[in-house]
Every structure is written in structure tokens, then in C-alpha cells.
Amino acid sequence: MNWLTNGKQFEFWKLRRARMSNKAIAVSFGISRQAVSKALLKADEKVEIALRDMATANRIAIMKINPKLGVLLGRSVPLGVDAIVFISGKHGLQVWYEHDGDCGSCDEYAKCIELLWDYAGELGIVLNRTADPTKMAEELFARVMGMI
């Protein structure tokens, strides 16, 4: 998974996800559009493999997958809840399970808030302000589902 943090393919992939055209990416890197297109095809393959592998490792039945957005929607077989596997430019490959958490008493509270805000920002989604990561996740992932 080293390509998730290093390399031009992932940079191109993140820029495309941020709605930059292949032509603009090519110009900014001083390469041809064809080189960008070829790199993005390889990146999409790698993203899909990473998403599927994470779903398999976490026993998530796949319902929808979008490698260009870097999102997989599914259902956790052992937990019986919806799950989303996604790639964040800052946080890498992540899994979020639908749940009603007691976020105020959780040691991971600040990390969850940061992850959700960062991921929303990467996708250009503006979330309503709330101190509850569970509510933030519900809003964020409902909007992500609408993008797929």
C-alpha cells in the first residue's frame, strides 16, 4: 500500500477526485494527457484492489464500489451493520461502521472528528457543525452515497 502515500499515481488520483481535469493535471506536472490517463487507469485498479482487500479482511459484503471516488459500500457480515471502506489522502485506507457510539467517553473521539472533517474536506463536502462524530458520519456518508 506504499502507493497510497507516495507516487504520482496517487497524486493524480487525488487531484482528479478533487475535480481537476486530466488536461490540468498534465499541464501542472509537465506531462501528456495520455500519461495522466494511463496513470489514472493504474491508480483506479490499485484503489479497487485495496478497497476489495480491506472489505474481505473485515468480512464486509460489497454492495457498491467506486474506485474513482475511492469508496466501497457494504455490510459487515459478523456485525450486521452497514460499513464504508474509503481512501483518505491524509489518513489512508479506512473502515467506518454504522453505529450509535458513546462518543463523549471514547478515547478515539478527537481522532474520529479529525478523520471525518478531513475526509469531508477532501471531497469538497461541507458538514453541519456538531460535536458528535456519529452524527457527522451519518451526514458525511449519506452525502458520499449520493455521489456514487
* Nearest CA-CA partner of 81 in 99, 105, 107: 99
The pLDDT, as a whole number, for residue 66 is 96
Order of all β-strands in the sheet with 60-66: 60-66, 71-76, 82-88, 92-97
Tens place of pLDDT per residue across the chain (148 aa): 455 555 889 999 999 999 999 999 999 999 999 999 999 999 999 999 999 999 999 999 999 999 999 999 999 999 999 999 999 989 999 999 988 877 878 888 889 889 999 999 999 899 887 788 888 888 988 898 888 8
The cell for 118 is 478531513
Q: What is the pLDDT of residue 6?
A: 58
Q: Where are the domains of the chain?
A: 2-147
Report the pLDDT value the prediction gives residue 128, as an integer from 0 to 100: 84
The CA distance from 137 to 148, in Å, is 16
- The per-residue pLDDT for 129 is 79
Q: What pTM did the predictor assign?
A: 0.87
Helix ranges, the chain (H): 8-17, 22-29, 33-57, 109-123, 133-147
pLDDT (0 to 100) of residue 58: 97
| CB-based burial label for 71 (10 Å; 0-12, 13-18, 19+) | buried
